[in-house]
Structure 1
Amino acid sequence: MRSSRRRPWLVPVLLCALAVLAARPTDAAEGDGGTGSGISAQVAQLYEDAARATRRYEDGRREAEAQRARAKRLEGLLDRERREIAVLREDLGRMARAQYRGGGGLPLAAHLVLADDPEELMRGRRVVRQAELAVDNAIGRSRRAQDRLAADEARARAAWQELERQNAELAALKKDIERRLETARVRLQGQAEASVTAGSCRGATRLDQPETGFTDSWVAPVETYVLSASFGSGGARWANRHTGQDFAVPVGTPVRAVGAGRVVRVSCGGAFGIEIVVRHANGYYTQYAHLAAVAVDQGERVRPGQWIGQSGNTGNSTGPHLHFEVRVTPQLGSAVDPVSWLARRGVPL
């Protein structure tokens, strides 16, 4: 769990970093001279920028909520201190009233002369005096605590307001990155459709790989997704049954190799649109279809989690998604349920 101590310079530094990202030239998306590989790499970079901006924005929101909760806790402590002071004052008032009714207006010497038991009278006086001192001390402590808590509350409120301001700027930067990403996605999809129509791939676009540090042998084919059409489901788009698992993701989403293997097929035509097939050491094959771009060449070795392409909406597809398939041969018709196949390898979807 992260420590509750925050570095005061962290959010401004992140804000500056995002400002640099937002101001970075957009190459092909902002002009007419961008190459296919340029727009593909740009989409991947903007995808990462948007993800980082989202994470930082969410971290800032959580920090702001923590600051607001701290301010509320401090206000609760102040209320409790005020209630305790009120009780002490009431107790002192009762003692004073009792003393007055018992002849508190007479001098102590007269009380001693008239008292039936002078020692008991003195003990009562000492008790009252000790109570008065206790109340005075409690009030003093409470006032000091109240001042301290009020100062803490003011600092917490100021920090929360600053975080809110910074989060508003982060949100604006995030929105700008997403706007540029959407523009680049449209261009990438257009180029992908042109490739499919021509039946010729543009070639691999080498993407800057994320610093994931995967230690598992198997991973999901995309990082964030919504599962859509499942294995074996029926529909008018398929001759028999659906042969894979669909992941609903936007155009340009980086697609990962689920495990180590070798690329045995890269094609750009037919019902699957742009597709990649990878052979794994255990005799299985995985297919990644309806892509917008590829980042590997046929014959290339890949590792778990490596970006091998970008999702799209090519071929027989009614919306942006990744069609992921697991087969026992490279050919269509030998598919197995990819969800249970991945689950057996420690990758629940």
Structure 2
Amino acid sequence: MRFTRRHPMLAAVLLCALAVLAARPTDGDGSHAPGHGSPSGVGAQVARLYEEAAAATERYEAGRREAERQRARAQRLEGRLDRERRAMAGLHGELGRIASSQYRDGGGLPLTAHMLLADDPEEMMRGQRAVRQAEVSLDKAIDRSERAEARLARDEARAAAAWKGLEQRNAELAALKQGIERKLEAARWKLQGQADASVAAGACRGAVRLDQPETHFTTRWVAPVETYVLSASYGSGGARWANRHTGQDFAVPIGTPVRAVGTGKVVKVSCGGAFGIEVVVRHAGGYYTQYAHLAAVAVDQGERVSPGQWIGQSGTSGNSTGPHLHFEVRVTPEMGSAVNPVAWLARRGVSL
């Protein structure tokens, strides 16, 4: 069964923070040598890609908000145009009624002819005054109609310009979004390439010191990733495991920040083997949490961590069929002592 948690787009794009930089490899048996990574060729390039993507994301968000404002303005103009068109139809109807009335009253005949033909001159004069009033009304109606037509034409042009601007902006935003996605994808796979090289060499690179987010957790325990789809579950069977699956998998893109689920101490950072790049944290009460198949680590062995602290970036290193985080809860630092991580977190108030 698959479950999804969704969050705002900007948070998803920040996953590329992942972009920050590898240090020189250390020799050894796959264990991690504490120390800070220093940027090298590929790492510096990935960092620049992240900075460009972050800046483009800000422009995208600002442009999206402006496009929404343009859409609202265009819709208001369309509403006004509809009202003006209805008013124009009414004016045209009024003009038609006035013209018909003049025709019935003999409009257009010279005043002398009317006087010669009239049986009652006084009645005829009253009729002439009515005709003049009708002519004044007609002139006013024509003037109103002309002004309304000019206003309608002006507003139609403004509405057309607004919709054209909106369409152009939408096209620009689509191109910007595609550019961001391409850069993020390139950054993620470059990061994964460094991870694969580390696993193949059996030597971890230095910790990637990510800028930690400003978080204000009100609970002592959190989920290991913020946005995810649950995939392989604890105890499930599969050809890739010797017995049963020993953890809970979170399907997330390469480079997703991985969080410490609670306060603890990093007791292991290693590369190589089935788990690829992994981090193990010891918590109070004799429990350990493992975060495996990472693309990079952001902590050193022996370091204290707090709930929600970014301790690495997800990947697909080791025995992995695709990008995901493998999360385990154990009663010892090593595999073979795992308990159900979903139930363990649920007892601590974290529902996945």
TM-score of the superposed pair, with normalisation by structure 1:
0.68
Equivalent residue, structure 1, for 2:211: 209
In 2, Cα distance between the equivalents of 1:239 and 1:205?
31
C-alpha distance 50-226 of structure 1, shift in aligned 2 (>3 A)? farther
- Higher deviation after alignment, 122-131 or 327-336: 122-131
Matches within 5 A, 1:69-218: 70-71=73-74, 73-105=76-108, 113=121, 115=123, 132=138, 135-136=141-142, 138-139=144-145, 142-143=148-149, 145-146=151-152, 148-150=154-156, 152-153=158-159, 155-157=161-163, 159-160=165-166, 163-164=169-170, 166-167=172-173, 170-171=176-177, 173-174=179-180, 177-178=183-184, 180-182=186-188, 184-195=190-201, 198=202, 200-202=203-205, 204-217=206-219, 218=221
1:304: Cα distance to partner? 3.1
**Structure 2 CA distance for aligned equivalents of residues 53 and 133 of structure 1:** 58
Does the 8 A contact of 2:88 with 2:149 survive in 1? no
| Higher-Rg member (1/2) | 2
Matches within 5 A, 1:293-304: 293-304=296-307
Do the aligned residues in 2 keep the contact of 1:40 with 1:205 (CA within 8 Å)? no
- The answer for the alignment partner of 1:232 in structure 2 is 235
Percent identical among aligned pairs is: 54
Q: Hey, what's the Cα distance between the residues in 2 that align with 1:111 and 1:213?
A: 98
Cα contact 1:228–1:245 (8 A) shared by 2: yes
CA distance in 2, matches of 1:336, 1:138: 79
* Alpha-carbon distance in structure 2 between the residues aligned to 1:325 and 1:299: 19
Does the C-alpha gap of structure 1 residues 167 and 40 become closer, same or farther in structure 2, counting only changes over 3 Å?
same
Alignment of 1:208-287 (within 5 A): 208-217=210-219, 218-281=221-284, 284-287=287-290
Select the residue among 298, 306, 309 that pairs with 2:312.
Answer: 309
Matching of residue 337 in structure 1 with residue 308 in structure 2: no
Shift of 1:295: 1.6
Task: Give how far 1:335 is off.
Answer: 1.7
Query: TM-score with structure 2 length normalisation?
Result: 0.68
Given that residues 200 and 272 in structure 2 are in contact (C-alpha distance below 8 angstroms), is that contact kept between their aligned partners in structure 1?
no
CA distance in 2, matches of 1:243, 1:258: 18
Q: Measure, in 2, the Cα distance between the counterparts of 1:288 and 1:248.
A: 13
Gaps of 5+ in 2: 1-18, 26-36
Task: Mark the CA change 1:92 to 1:290 in structure 2 (over 3 Å): closer, same or farther.
Answer: same
Instruction: Measure, in 1, the Cα distance between the counterparts of 2:283 and 2:132.
Output: 90
Moved more, 297-306 or 65-74: 65-74
Looking at structure 2, the residues matched to 78 and 147 of structure 1 have their Cα atoms a distance apart, in angstroms, of 9
Q: Which has the higher contact order (CA 8 A, sep 6+)?
A: 2
**Counterpart residue identity of residue 349, structure 2:** R
SS at 1:277's partner residue?
strand
Q: Is the 8 A contact 1:192 1:314 kept in 2?
A: no
Matched, 1:318 2:321: yes
Which segments of 5 or more consecutive residues in structure 1 lack a partner in the other structure?
Answer: 1-25
Aligned residues: 313
Contact 1:192 / 1:293 at 8 angstroms: preserved in 2? no
Q: Retained in 2: the 8 A contact 1:205–1:294?
A: yes
Tell me the secondary structure at the aligned position of residue 243 of structure 1: coil
User: Bigger CA drift: 211-220 or 315-324?
Assistant: 211-220
Residue by residue over 1:92-132, the C-alpha shift from the partner in whole angstroms, topping out at 9 and shown as x without a partner, is: 2123203421444565986984649x6xx799779857864
Q: Equivalent residue of 2:291, what SS? A: strand
